[in-house]
Amino acid sequence: DVKVTQSSRYLVKRTGEKVFLECVQDMDHENMFWYRQDPGLGLRLIYFSYDVKMKEKGDIPEGYSVSREKKERFSLILESASTNQTSMYLCASSHQLSSYEQYFGPGTRLTVT
Amino acid sequence: DAKTTQPPSMDCAEGRAANLPCNHSTISGNEYVYWYRQIHSQGPQYIIHGLKNNETNEMASLIITEDRKSSTLILPHATLRDTAVYYCIVRVAGGSARQLTFGSGTQLTVLP
């Protein structure tokens, strides 16, 4: 079974803090994704990575950065957290970039106060 | 990408088969049908996908009509843990749009 794990299920941070969200997958997948999910807005892609040290912006990259130093790990960084970044953050991985067979982690519910 | 239409909600008795329909009348020849589900407060879960043949895996079966304008996801013996929102997505495999986007889906409630 594909396992995608995320470092926290719930996180509360203050405005202006730097926030790190970690994601690890154990299936040797080349591709990893960070989404956020908000009521009424559905899933929105923040960044994705198709190889170690490679990354591409998704639809809403502003205010976020990512890091992929190892194949199994993809980190999302909020440089200076703001209240409009309160959301559910979902990490996913897939074997082929063209595939929509993506495997998701359990999500991190981030609240920025 | 082709638009999909799903009923907003369905109920199913525990232990019975749950049949979830999806209309995709504008689907083109190279578009696949994907199904995902999302249990409340959890990440989405991939279920199954297919092009034109019926597909089965350990979770579900996917029946695609011959004209490919509709499909049905079948959970053969629904359990309470199958209560979730089910999403039908149509996508070209190998397309440039890599991200998943979900419509409103079908809320399946499995009743004891």
pLDDT tens string A55-76: 999 989 999 999 999 999 999 9
The mean of the pLDDT values for chain A is 92
Tens digit of pLDDT for each residue in B27-48? 988 889 999 999 988 899 999 9
Pull the structure tokens for residue B80.
């309470």
Cβ separation of A48 and B99 shorter than 8 Å?
Answer: yes
A76 contacts chain B (CB < 8 A) = no
Residues 83 to 102 of A: which have CB under 8 A from any B CB?
90-92, 97-102
How far apart CA A63 and CA A35 sit, in angstroms, is: 13
Contact A98 B98 (CB under 8 A): yes
Residue B112 burial (C-beta neighbours within 10 Å; 0-12, 13-18, 19+) = exposed
Q: What is the mean pLDDT of residues A2-25?
A: 94
Residue A65 φ then ψ, to 5°: -140, 170
DSSP B42-102: S--EEEEEESSS-EE-SS-EEEE-TTSSEEEEEETT--GGG-EEEEEEEEETT-S--S---
pLDDT value for B69: 94
Tell me: the pLDDT tens digits for B2-17? 689 999 999 999 999 9
pLDDT at site B100: 72
User: For the segment B44-80, what is each residue's pLDDT rounded down to a tens digit?
Assistant: 999 999 999 899 999 999 999 999 999 999 999 999 9
Between A77-81, A88-92, B99-103, B108-112, the lowest mean confidence (pLDDT) is in B99-103
Per-residue pLDDT, B94: 62
What one-letter code names the amino acid at B22? C
Chain B residue with minimum CA distance to A40: B104
**A12-21, A52-61, B93-102: lowest mean pLDDT where?**
B93-102
Which of B55, B56, B34 is closest to B45 using CA atoms? B34
Q: What is the structure's pLDDT at B1? A: 63
